[in-house]
Amino acid sequence: MTAVAPEPRLSDFYLRLADDPSLLEQYERDPEAALAAAGMTDAQIDAVLDGSDAVRSVLEAELAGEPGLRRLVTEPRMMTMGPPEDEDEDEPDDEPDDDDDS
Amino acid sequence: MSERPAGGERRRGSLTVVGTGIDAVSQLTPAARGTIEGADEVFYLLADPVAARRIEALKPTATSLDHLYGPTKERRETYAELVETIAAAALRGARVCAVFYGHPGVFARSGHEAIERVRAAGLPARMLPAVSALDCLIADLGLDPATSGLQTYEATYFFVRRPPVDPHAILVLLQVGMLGERGGAATESVAPRFRLLLDRLVEQYGADRQAVLYEASPYPGAAPAVDRFALGGGGARSPSVMATLCVPGERWHPVDPEARRALELNGR
């Protein structure tokens, strides 16, 4: 009985790119070839060629199956919001004060 | 505002706020990387799992701040807790690095406020620049703010406060996928609100003006999401949480002859 090699993780490949400028250059020039050379599956390669939404789906699926990594899959969070919609700090106060006798 | 470790040497806390860029694989700067690796405590808030894996690879003890968000929890409350968590660690004497996605100071208030808090305590704090979603938009859509100007607003702010619109300039509205939302997650109400926003823009630009719903790619080699449509054409999809709406500029502003004479530009 032959052991089946686990499917390589796309997120592992991305981490390799982060630390290997020559691999990143090769990937930027020809992503399909670089992914294939790294042993990525056709589905993973197709996702990258399809765009970022498809990549995210693949990443979420692969990390959801890893107990130590699934906590990293979170909703994108906003980091700012405007001032409260019911406040207008700069509104000039044209009303005279009640105790203003002048 | 310092603590004395076991060796007796007094340590001063500090804070550096960094960004991963939109694509943490290829846009994290060497300066940001060095700061993350050298910090005592690293807190992060990121938008995709590859970025989180990268930060944890650089600093295995890094702590996610995502748990401070809740679907219906007011984001203002979350932002206050982000600032408190980050600043408190520096005030305890740690060299702290706070990591946010994109540029840590562009449409990201908590980093600025944490720096203000730490500086107010007499401790050093700084922010390192990074690649923002706006930078990616300019590159991917081939736009140049120098051509006719650039206006950019947070979408809810723009809708509620109605700042004057310059139809010649590029208009960029961030967070259209969270239009009117106060909590940590988008709801089904965003889609009808987005249609109201488009109606408003049709009043200002006309129905035929082309617009783009854009989302930068957080992954190298993967294309960004770019959907082009006419503002009044009914062809716009509902925006994703990370989507940005862009109305490209149209024609240059007219020349003021007196101003041109004042600069002695006539005849050039």
Question: Which domain range does residue A57 map to?
Answer: 10-67
Burial B145-164 (b: 16+ CB within 10 A, else e): eeebebbbbbbbbbbeeeee
Structural domains of chain B, count:
2
In a domain, A91, yes or no: no
* Closest Cβ–Cβ partner in A27, A53, A78 for B75: A78
- Shared domain check, B150 and B85: no
Residue A26 belongs to some domain of the structure: yes
Same domain, yes or no, for B71 and B173? no
The full DSSP string for B28-88 is: --HHHHHHHHH-SEEEEE-SSHHHHHHHHHH-TT-EE-GGG--SSS-HHHHHHHHHHHHHH
- When computed from its CA atoms, the radius of gyration of chain A, rounded to whole angstroms, is 26
Q: Do B224 and B176 lie in a common domain? A: yes
Taking the Cβ of residue B196 and every Cβ of chain A, the question of whether any pair is shorter than 8 Å is answered with no
Render B99-136 in DSSP notation, one character per residue.
EESB-TTSS-HHHHHHHHHHHHTT--EEE-----HHHH
* Strand partners of residue B95: B14
Chain B hits for A50, CB-CB cut-off 8 Å, are 222
More confident residue, B253 or A80: B253
Q: B93, B127, B161: which is the final residue of a domain?
A: B127
CA distance A92 to chain B (A): 16
CATH code: domain of residue B24: 3.40.1010.10
- pLDDT greater than 70 at residue A91: no
Beta bridge partners of B12: B2
Tell me what ipTM this predicted complex has.
0.85
Query: pLDDT tens digit string along B42-76?
Result: 999 999 999 999 999 999 999 999 999 998 899 99
Q: How many helices (H) and strands (E) does chain A have?
A: 5, 0
Amino acid A93: pLDDT: 47
CB contact under 8 A, A14 and B50: yes
pLDDT, tens digit, 9 for 90 and up, residues B171-194: 999 999 999 999 888 999 999 999
* Per-residue confidence (pLDDT) for residue A102, from 0 to 100: 35
A92 has a pLDDT exceeding 80: no
Residue A5 lies in a domain: no
pLDDT for the residue numbered B267: 60
State the CATH number of the domain containing residue B154.
Answer: 3.30.950.10
Structure confidence by residue, pLDDT tens digits, B101-124: 999 999 999 999 999 999 999 999
Q: What percent of chain B has pLDDT above 70?
A: 95
- Alpha carbons B79 and B224: distance in angstroms, whole number: 28
Inform me whether the C-beta atom of residue A36 falls under 8 Å from chain B C-beta atoms. Answer: no
Q: For the ranges A17-21, B29-33, B148-152, B184-188, which has the lowest average pLDDT?
A: B184-188
Question: B132 φ, ψ to 5°?
Answer: -100, 170
Does B258 map to a domain? no
Interface residue B114 vs chain A (CB under 8 A): no
Nearest to B219 among A55, A72, A80 (CB): A55
Instruction: Give the SS3 label for residue A23.
Output: helix
Query: Is residue A54, in this structure, part of any structural domain at all?
Result: yes
A78 domain residue, yes or no: no
Structural domain range at position B139? 133-247
* Domain end residue (candidates: B127, B158, B175): B127
CB pair distance less than 8 Å for B222 and A78:
no
Both B121 and B145 in one domain: the answer is: no
pLDDT one-digit tens code per residue, B234-243: 888 999 999 9
Percentage of chain B exceeding pLDDT 90: 87
Instruction: Test A78 with B175 for CB contact under 8 angstroms.
Output: yes
For residue A17, give every residue at least 6 positions away whose Cβ sits within 8 Å of its Cβ, in sequence order, or none: A23, A24, A27, B25, B26, B220
In a domain, B215, yes or no: yes
Q: With cut-offs at 50, 70 and 90, classify the pLDDT of residue A94.
A: very low
Question: What are residue B161's phi and psi, to 5 degrees?
Answer: -100, -10
Closest in B49, B54, B107 to A59, CB measured: B49
B142's torsion region: left (phi>0), alpha (psi -120 to 50) or beta? left
pTM of the model: 0.89
Coil, strand or helix: which one is B222? coil
Residues of B in contact with A27 (CB under 8 A): 220-221
- Residue B256 in domain: no
Read off φ and ψ for residue B153, nearest 5 degrees.
-140, 155
DSSP A28-55: HH-HHHHHHHTT--HHHHHHHHH-HHHH
Tokens of B205: 């630009």
Please indicate, yes or no, if residue B210 is contained in any of the structural domains.
yes
Q: Is the same domain home to B18 and B121?
A: yes
pLDDT score of B252: 87
| Predicted confidence band of residue A56 (pLDDT cuts 50, 70, 90) | very high
Our answer to whether residue B182 is catalytic in this structure is no
* Cα angle A33-B136-B213, degrees, rounded to a multiple of 5: 100
- CB–CB of A15 and B26 under 8 A? no
pLDDT at res. A90: 55
Q: What would the pLDDT profile of A2-49 be if each residue is shown by its tens digit? A: 666 677 899 999 999 999 999 999 999 999 999 999 999 999 999 999
Q: How many domains does one find in chain A? A: 1
Question: Do B123 and B201 belong to one domain?
Answer: no
Chain A nearest-CA distance from B203, in A, is 22
| pLDDT for B123 | 98
